[in-house]
């Protein structure tokens, strides 16, 4: 990885926070909620909003794995939050089970369809597989609709459609193993065991993509994959309105008001599907318009919410969004880790100190900059500098 010369190397934790194993951040504990099937009833959503308001800082993130994160939880109130989640049926029996149950499901599932059936089977199988000691970030994708939609989402094992076939795919491979709806979950667990047997994990870390770069997938993985459908935009769908959250975050108050319209399905696109709602009221930080310029900006938590952040990021994102050329993406990162957009972006700003950023063209947050040490005020005064010479 080429590194921006003016940004210090970020710390890599190698695990994700959960509810039972929260992570300390700059604004308190981050408590991550992995909703089964990525769905919250209206009562669950309102109760989560209440926990955020009572015990956190009133801000809720939606992660790229369709998990919610309550922010600003104190050590003292963590137990009360766990009790609240337990009452809602949203708590696993222990942190290991919670970590293993890392399933991202297409939000467009219907009761009894292939997505729903496979996700349920996989959830049961993972809960029962106590011998399966997978790395902390190891995850599964269930994407068995008419065409794959989650290929750009990080995962180690994918269950996805390819034409009239259903495939289990090792991330990084161009082919997969044909399975049936009834056998998909077990085949996914077999592939997870193969990953461990092949030495894919070491010291609790390791990803399937890295293993596949070193050795081929099993011989039975010979059916070609289909390519992914584009990421959806906010707007009405056959299942209800799909709304984007400004920079992947929402206030607890707006979250509760969103749930007044119907059960919520969490997506990996920083969007929420409001099940069956005919229309929505305008809510702060909730984007209904697919042309909203904020959709062209990817921005991480930044300071003070992230302990590693060298600068605040979100206000700058709000101010620069209208100046991002149509069809392009601006990534603003509080450090070189680039959590909000791990891949390259046409435009990237990486913090190097408080309100000071390196500008990278067509690269990742950690890549060599085109222009170093731009101040946030200079960017606000002359946002054209973003695209000059790009
Ligand atoms: S990229 Fe942002 S959220 Fe990720 S570690 Fe750096 S400052 Fe924190």
Residues 23-92+239-287, CATH architecture? Alpha-Beta Complex (3.90)
Atom of ligand 1 nearest to the CA of 309: 7
Q: Is residue 308 in contact with ligand 1, taking CB distance under 6 Å? A: yes
Q: Is residue 350 in contact with ligand 1, taking CB distance under 6 Å? A: no
Pocket test for ligand 1, best of 306, 331, 367 (most atoms within 8 A of CB): 306
Burial class (CB in 10 A: 0-12, 13-18, 19+), 153: buried
> What is Dmax (Cα atoms) for the chain?
59
Give yes or no for residue 2 having a pLDDT over 60.
no
Q: How high is the pLDDT of residue 16?
A: 77
Q: Is residue 317 in contact with ligand 1, taking CB distance under 6 Å? A: no
Give yes or no for residue 207 having a pLDDT over 90.
yes
Q: How confident is the model at residue 8 (pLDDT cuts 50, 70, 90)?
A: low
| Average pLDDT across the chain, whole number | 95
Q: How high is the pLDDT of residue 124?
A: 97
CATH entry 3.30.413.10 includes domain 293-386: yes
Give yes or no for residue 10 having a pLDDT over 80.
no
Going by C-alpha positions, the residue among 365, 310, 304 that lies closest to residue 334 is 310
Which regions of the chain carry the CATH code 3.30.413.10? 293-386
Atom of ligand 1 nearest to the CA of 307: 8
Q: Is residue 300 in contact with ligand 1, taking CB distance under 6 Å? A: yes
Q: How high is the pLDDT of residue 1?
A: 44
Q: How high is the pLDDT of residue 228?
A: 86
Going by C-alpha positions, the residue among 60, 71, 99 that lies closest to residue 254 is 60
Could you report the per-residue pLDDT of 49-77, keeping only the tens digit for each?
999 999 999 999 999 999 999 999 999 99
How far apart CA 386 and CA 360 sit, in angstroms, is 9
Eight-class DSSP state of 377: H
Give yes or no for residue 104 having a pLDDT over 80.
yes
Q: How high is the pLDDT of residue 241?
A: 97
Atom of ligand 1 nearest to the CA of 306: 8
Between the alpha carbon of residue 289 and those of residues 268, 270, 281, 294, 350, the distances in Å are 18, 14, 13, 10, 28
Which regions of the chain carry the CATH code 3.90.480.10? 23-92+239-287
Q: Is residue 10 in contact with ligand 1, taking CB distance under 6 Å? A: yes
Q: Are 125 and 186 within 8 A, CB to CB?
A: yes
Residues β-bridged to residue 25: 28
Burial class (CB in 10 A: 0-12, 13-18, 19+), 79: exposed
Contact residues for 231 (Cβ-Cβ < 8 A; gap 6+): 149, 152, 269
Cα 331 to averaged position of ligand 1 atoms, centre (Å): 12
Cα 357 to averaged position of ligand 1 atoms, centre (Å): 14
Going by C-alpha positions, the residue among 106, 71, 65, 58 that lies closest to residue 256 is 58
Q: How high is the pLDDT of residue 6?
A: 60
The CB density around residue 327, as the number of other CB atoms within 10 Å, is 7
* Geometric angle at alpha carbon 220, from 214 and 221, rounded to 5°: 55
Q: How high is the pLDDT of residue 317?
A: 98
Could you report the per-residue pLDDT of 112-125, keeping only the tens digit for each?
999 999 999 999 99
Q: How high is the pLDDT of residue 209?
A: 98
DSSP string, 43-70: HHHHHHHHHHHHHS-SEEEE-TTS-EEE
Could you report the per-residue pLDDT of 76-88, keeping only the tens digit for each?
999 999 999 999 9
Name the least confident of 190-194, 340-344, 371-375.
Answer: 340-344
| Average pLDDT over every residue of 343-364 | 97
Cα 23 to averaged position of ligand 1 atoms, centre (Å): 13
Atom of ligand 1 nearest to the CA of 338: 1
How far apart CA 24 and CA 333 sit, in angstroms, is 19
Name the least confident of 8-12, 99-103, 145-149, 303-307.
Answer: 8-12
Q: Whose CA is nearest to atom 6 of ligand 1?
A: 335
Contact residues for 57 (Cβ-Cβ < 8 A; gap 6+): 27, 28, 71, 72
Give yes or no for residue 14 having a pLDDT over 80.
no
pLDDT > 90 in the chain, percent: 93
Going by C-alpha positions, the residue among 375, 327, 369 that lies closest to residue 348 is 369
Q: Are 360 and 390 within 8 A, CB to CB?
A: no
């Amino acid at each position: 990885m080429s590194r921006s010369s003016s940004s210090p190397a970020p710390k890599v934790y190698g695990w994700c926070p959960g509810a039972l194993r929260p992570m300390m951040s700059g604004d308190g504990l981050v408590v991550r909620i992995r909703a089964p099937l990525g769905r919250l009833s209206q009562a669950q959503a309102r109760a989560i909003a209440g926990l955020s308001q009572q015990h956190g800082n009133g801000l809720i993130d939606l992660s790229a794995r369709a998990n919610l994160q309550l922010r600003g939880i104190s050590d003292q109130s963590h137990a009360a939050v766990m009790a609240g989640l337990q009452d809602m049926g949203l708590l696993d029996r222990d942190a290991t089970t919670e970590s293993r149950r890392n399933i991202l499901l297409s939000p467009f599932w219907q009761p009894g369809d292939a997505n729903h059936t496979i996700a349920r089977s996989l959830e049961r199988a993972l809960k029962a597989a106590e011998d399966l000691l997978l790395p902390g970030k190891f995850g599964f994708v269930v994407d068995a609709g008419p065409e794959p939609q989650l290929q750009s989402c990080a995962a180690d094992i994918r269950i996805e459609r390819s034409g009239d076939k259903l495939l289990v795919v090792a991330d990084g491979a161009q082919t997969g193993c044909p399975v049936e709806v009834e056998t998909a979950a077990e085949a996914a667990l077999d592939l997870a065991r193969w990953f461990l047997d092949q030495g894919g994990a070491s010291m609790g870390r390791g990803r399937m993509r890295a293993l596949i770069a070193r050795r081929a997938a099993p011989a039975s993985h010979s059916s070609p994959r289909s390519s992914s459908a584009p990421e959806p935009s906010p707007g009405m769908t056959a299942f209800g309105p799909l709304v984007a959250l400004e920079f992947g975050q929402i206030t607890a108050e707006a979250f509760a008001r969103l749930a007044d319209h119907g059960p919520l399905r969490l997506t990996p696109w920083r969007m929420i599907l409001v099940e069956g709602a005919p229309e929505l009221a305008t809510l702060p930080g909730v984007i209904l318009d697919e042309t909203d310029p904020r959709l062209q900006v990817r921005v991480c938590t930044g300071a003070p919410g992230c302990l590693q952040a060298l600068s605040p990021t979100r206000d700058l994102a709000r101010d620069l969004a209208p100046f991002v050329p149509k069809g392009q993406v601006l990534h603003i990162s509080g450090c070189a880790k680039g959590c909000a957009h791990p891949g390259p972006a046409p435009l990237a700003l990486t913090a190097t100190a408080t309100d000071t950023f390196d500008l990278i063209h067509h690269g990742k947050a950690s890549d060599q900059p085109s222009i170093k040490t731009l101040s946030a005020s200079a960017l606000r005064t002359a946002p054209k500098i973003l695209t000059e010479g790009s």
